[in-house]
Structure 1
Amino acid sequence: MTGTGEMRWFEALQDVLDDSHLWQPGDLAARVGAAVSRLGLRTTIWLVDYEQVALRALPETGRATPEPLPVDGSLAGRAFTRVTALRGDGHRWWVPMVDGTDRIGVVEVVADGDRDDEFVRRCELLAGLIGHLIVTTTVRGDHLDVVRRSQPMSTAAELLWNMLPPLTASCGRAVISAVLQPCYDVGGDGFDYALDGDTAYVAILDAVGKGVTAGVACAVALAAIRAARRAGGGLAEQARAADDALTEHFPEVRFVTAVLAELRLDTGRIRYLNAGHPAPLLLRSGRLVRELDAGRRLPLGLADPRAQVGEEALEPDDRLLLYTDGVTEARTPEGEFFGVDRLVGLVERSAATRLPAPETLRRLSHAVLEHQGGPPDDDATLLLVQWSAAAAFDTLPTTKAADV
């Protein structure tokens, strides 16, 4: 690309960034479109919905809003699931949009003529900027969040979604990804993580009960764990903090099952506590090695001074799958449970096809829903930790578009 062309791209991106300080959420699509129109481009920004079933276009004044596109079975969906820029018909490109490594949607770019690989890389830069701006702009109003919804959200789900970190985060040595169902009515399930220095901290929680009460219990336990962790407390201190918080705020007995773990990113050593929760599954070379069944203690909210921390040594590329019982206990109308064996089989098949961690979980969660024939009777949450530099790389947008 010529120096003049580079300057025009720089000026367009600068205009988007400068303009973003004062725009409202509903301005985003039109303002981006105006900035890149000077480059001979037309853009449509597509956000993935909460259930990760469809991509929904951001409305623009004066333009008809396209119908949602399915994630499964569309070129846009393939760009999203594989985090890969794809060329469509004519002069159209579908470019994955992420914030860090958390998949947000895709940007559809239509050019006024043929473009080269350098053009695709610049489109990826544009999509990356838009992804970051969507995250920072969403909190200013409701517009962007409403676009992502196919139905109203319950009070409990509203509470918990605003407590949770992004669904996916990666660093140079690991990927952490999670998914929740039913996403519009989740009540007592939650998860947390932190990637700091040489340690990855993860937690998965399941408050007993349903609705707002369960959601509040999960939120209280999650906040207590974070506060203890950020104050330098280890796994035992985090669990005790959750015990104390639940006892203090709930006069009746209220408990939360959970797994709290910390993974050394330099050595692969993992330490964990299991507070009455299903045992995490360790997968190696695409196969189940064992359940991590040590580190047992009573559920959070029931003090257990006898608890001992469990330990395990991971090998490079190992996967650790944590889940709530709503996954394995989901059942068909005839009463057939989804079960651990079915869960493991699906994860093993995904490893064989080298699906990125977030796409593995998206497909697993949909398999649970399909097995039950609708929303689960209980919250179903999955969290996958992969100690692997290659897996982290797989969550990044590729640098070259593929023709289709």
Structure 2
Amino acid sequence: MMLELDRLSHIYGSSLENLTLNSTLEDLTLEGFSLDRNVPGHILVQQFNENPLLPGVIVLKRGQYMGMISRRKCLEIMSRPYGIELFYKRPLQCLYDFVKTEVLCYRGDTPIFAAARQCLERSPDNLYEPLIVLLSDGSHRLLDVHKLLIAQSQLYEVASKLLDKRRQDLDRANAEVEELNQRLKAENLRLSHEVNIAHQLQQMLLPTEEDFQKIPDLDIAAYMEPAAEVGGDYYDILPHADGVKIGIGDVTGHGLESGVFTIMVQTAIRTLLTAQETDPVRFLTTLNQTIYDNVERMNCDRNLTLSLIDYHQGRLQLSGQHEEAILLRRDGSLERIDTLDLGFPIGLDAEISHFIHPIELALHPGDTLILYTDGITEAEAPNGDFFGLERLCEVARRHAQDDAGQIQQAIIEELKKYINGHKIYDDITLLVLKRKLEGSLPQHPQVQIDPRGGSHP
């Protein structure tokens, strides 16, 4: 093909070598041969004999374009009987009037493909008639149809090579995408294993039935349902020599990073408890400093609302900032305890001691303390309305005489009925702690694993 192109370029000029898919008629080699209409016919015949590649002549009238006579038509007429006698010495005007045909005229910026398609739609008699090309300067040029078709053929080859290259590029891109997909599958599998490990670790650290049995005068029920594989809620019940420490908190966000955050908090709390730190201000201050340093090291923006309750023989000491606590009395009356002024979010600031102001409350036999995260109060019905704290309090009042497990079950059932299958956007955690009536038999709660990974006795 290259040898053929070299030969054609030698004949038709070098324009064929530089064609692109955007090439236009003015990119081809055009002929500007013209004669005035009054020139004798033999002058045209002489020019055609001397220049065999001339496709025709542009006929001028007083220097302006009038029309075109093709080489083929001219020689055909001159070869007829009496052709030379009729037109050889007469003005070109006579020959022009005799052979006049419809001429295709295009602007110079017409795409080669478009001009070739229209040219081939002509009648067979005029199929090989030259084209007239009007340039931007107003001048007219001749274009040999053969040259146009050869240029079209060359562009088809250019397009074919481009398509082959695009196919090769697409094949390479597909191979790269497939490789990336395989890597992504492997990475997802690895992350899934890591999330599963974090989930299992989080479940292993939840309170057990044995922990509850160590608190003889409290009836306890707990429920946790994470919104993702790894939750961002925290709760713990830690019996010790002087009573029991109860914690509930909510890390910003949920997922793996929040789950790791809750594990850090629990580890720090257990460490401080083992070190026999009993002062609530020092306890929360030290805990916050430890978590804050880890947050800085991890370069993350997580923090935690946290309430800590120290219980001993009917006395509650409450510290830390979290959701309102609900104190449900045996007679059905209810107190909402605002924790806003009892502490400060953990891990948000390096020094929080001046924000911590613990309070003490009495928990009489038959009284119930209800702790929760905002996954309950902000759970949405299908219409977008929140479950809300008032509805939570109302359900608790109706079941004030029930045991902790029944109160917890009633709240969760009412919550699930309210959201009616709507998506759960945040982790749900609920703690119900009821002081047993004097002389009541110890109750041993059964710890159950929630289908979504939570636990509730």
| Class of the TM-score when normalised by the shorter of the 2 chains | 0.5 to 0.7
Q: Judging changes above 3 Å, is the alpha-carbon distance between structure 1 residues 250 and 290 closer, same or farther for their aligned structure 2 residues?
A: same
Q: Which fold has the larger relative contact order, with Cα–Cα distance below 8 Å and residues 6 or more apart in sequence? A: 1
Are 2:392 and 2:411, in contact at CA under 8 Å, matched by a contact in 1? Answer: yes
Q: Which residue of 2 aligns with 1:257?
A: 305
Letter in 2 for 1:349: R
Q: Distance in 2 between matches of 1:347 and 1:310?
A: 23
Q: Is 1:378 paired with 2:421?
A: no
Matches within 5 A, 1:5-404: 156-166=198-208, 169-170=212-213, 171-182=215-226, 185-234=229-278, 235-251=280-296, 252-265=300-313, 268-275=314-321, 277-293=322-338, 296-301=342-347, 302=349, 303-306=351-354, 307-352=356-401, 354=402, 356-374=403-421, 376-389=424-437, 393=441, 395-396=443-444
Letter in 1 for 2:418: H
Are 1:269 and 1:312, in contact at CA under 8 Å, matched by a contact in 2? Answer: yes
Q: Judging changes above 3 Å, is the alpha-carbon distance between structure 1 residues 328 and 225 closer, same or farther for their aligned structure 2 residues?
A: same
Are 2:222 and 2:408, in contact at CA under 8 Å, matched by a contact in 1? Answer: yes
Q: Distance in 2 between matches of 1:349 and 1:395?
A: 22
Q: Distance in 1 between matches of 2:228 and 2:438?
A: 33
Letter in 1 for 2:316: I
After alignment, is 154-163 or 227-236 more displaced?
Answer: 154-163
Indicate the SS of the match to 2:394.
Answer: helix
Query: More helix by proportion, 1 or 2?
Result: 2
Are 1:286 and 1:351, in contact at CA under 8 Å, matched by a contact in 2? Answer: yes
Q: Give the C-alpha shift of residue 330 in structure 1.
A: 0.3
Q: Give the C-alpha shift of residue 299 in structure 1.
A: 0.6
Are 2:252 and 2:303, in contact at CA under 8 Å, matched by a contact in 1? Answer: yes
Q: Judging changes above 3 Å, is the alpha-carbon distance between structure 1 residues 274 and 309 closer, same or farther for their aligned structure 2 residues?
A: same
- Residue identity (%): 28
Letter in 2 for 1:233: E
Q: Judging changes above 3 Å, is the alpha-carbon distance between structure 1 residues 286 and 391 closer, same or farther for their aligned structure 2 residues?
A: farther
Indicate the SS of the match to 2:417.
Answer: helix
Indicate the SS of the match to 2:400.
Answer: helix
Q: Give the C-alpha shift of residue 305 in structure 1.
A: 1.7
Are 1:272 and 1:311, in contact at CA under 8 Å, matched by a contact in 2? Answer: yes
Q: Give the C-alpha shift of residue 283 in structure 1.
A: 0.5
Are 1:323 and 1:381, in contact at CA under 8 Å, matched by a contact in 2? Answer: yes
Are 1:174 and 1:387, in contact at CA under 8 Å, matched by a contact in 2? Answer: yes
Are 1:169 and 1:177, in contact at CA under 8 Å, matched by a contact in 2? Answer: no
The alignment's C-alpha RMSD in Å is: 2.5
Structure 2's unaligned 5+ residue stretches are 1-194, 446-457
Q: Distance in 2 between matches of 1:391 and 1:344?
A: 28
Q: Distance in 2 between matches of 1:155 and 1:370?
A: 32
Q: Judging changes above 3 Å, is the alpha-carbon distance between structure 1 residues 184 and 253 closer, same or farther for their aligned structure 2 residues?
A: closer
Q: Distance in 2 between matches of 1:156 and 1:207?
A: 15
Letter in 2 for 1:314: L
Q: Give the C-alpha shift of residue 226 in structure 1.
A: 1.2
Q: Judging changes above 3 Å, is the alpha-carbon distance between structure 1 residues 391 and 330 closer, same or farther for their aligned structure 2 residues?
A: farther
Q: Distance in 1 between matches of 2:383 and 2:308?
A: 35
Q: Count residues with an aligned counterpart.
A: 240
Letter in 1 for 2:436: S
Q: Judging changes above 3 Å, is the alpha-carbon distance between structure 1 residues 258 and 288 closer, same or farther for their aligned structure 2 residues?
A: farther
Query: More strand by proportion, 1 or 2?
Result: 1
Letter in 2 for 1:395: Q
Letter in 2 for 1:332: A
Residues 121-152 of structure 1, C-alpha deviation per residue, up to 9 Å, x if partnerless? xxxxxxxxxxxxxxxxxxxxxxxxxxxxxxxx
Q: Judging changes above 3 Å, is the alpha-carbon distance between structure 1 residues 365 and 242 closer, same or farther for their aligned structure 2 residues?
A: farther
TM-score, scaled relative to structure 2: 0.48
Are 2:217 and 2:442, in contact at CA under 8 Å, matched by a contact in 1? Answer: no
Are 2:329 and 2:400, in contact at CA under 8 Å, matched by a contact in 1? Answer: no
Residues 24-55 of structure 1, C-alpha deviation per residue, up to 9 Å, x if partnerless? xxxxxxxxxxxxxxxxxxxxxxxxxxxxxxxx
Q: Give the C-alpha shift of residue 382 in structure 1.
A: 0.6
